[in-house]
Amino acid sequence: MNLLKSLLIVVIGILPFVVNAQSNNYKVRKCFGYQRDSCTTSANIFYKLNEDSRSALFVKGQSSQTIVSIYNGRDYRISLCWDHILGNRMGFKILDRETKNVLYDNSTDEFATDFEFTVTQSRDIIVELSIPGESTLSKSEGNEELIIIRKDKEMGCVGVLIEHMITPTKGF
């Protein structure tokens, strides 16, 4: 009976590792929570994690947008992180959702990976990311012969970590 009990404990202990090792769900295994695990958080203890933070699987050459609501009286910090397979830099813009005016573009800021700002008027913004390069997928538009894409060479996780805090009082 003790042998059976010991064997059961070992099987239960190993089961989670076996299930994850056999999973083909790349998002669950790798990209889920990537922004929390891989992006650098602010050293300022007053910044809190914003619920609009995101992570996703990207392909070289891909662009994507997400909408974020920002509020008057708050400071925000947006940080990017990504798998090294996607290259050493990433395009990052912040646009006004209503007017489409570019409020920030990291290509004019030496491709900075983080940006802090104060909001003076509540609104929705668009955070736009663009991964440089080309993948088999982007080169094969309309190619019926494409069957597979190597994840280890052309796909990787991208994280957008958004933090916020109450804007500190200015002056004395």
Distance CA 151, CA 158 (A): 14
Model confidence band, residue 102 (pLDDT cutoffs 50, 70, 90):
very high
Burial of 39 (0-12, 13-18, 19+ CB in 10 A): buried
Q: Do 77 and 41 contact (CB within 8 A), yes or no? A: no
> Do 46 and 84 reside in the same domain of the chain?
yes
> Do 7 and 57 reside in the same domain of the chain?
no
Q: What is the pTM of this model?
A: 0.76
Cα angle vertex 127, ends 159, 24, to 5°?
35
Integer Rg of the chain from CA? 21
Model confidence band, residue 65 (pLDDT cutoffs 50, 70, 90):
very high
> Do 40 and 108 reside in the same domain of the chain?
yes
> Do 74 and 46 reside in the same domain of the chain?
yes
Total of domains in the chain? 2
The 10 Å Cβ neighbour count of residue 77 is 19
Question: Domain with 102 in it: what CATH number?
Answer: 2.60.120.680
> Do 71 and 127 reside in the same domain of the chain?
yes
Domain that holds residue 4: 1-25
> Do 98 and 117 reside in the same domain of the chain?
yes
Residue 59 lies inside a defined structural domain of this protein: yes
pLDDT tens-digit map of 119-152: 999 999 999 999 998 876 655 566 666 667 666 6
> Do 37 and 4 reside in the same domain of the chain?
no
> Do 133 and 73 reside in the same domain of the chain?
yes
Residue 171 lies inside a defined structural domain of this protein: no
User: How many residues can be counted in the chain?
Assistant: 172
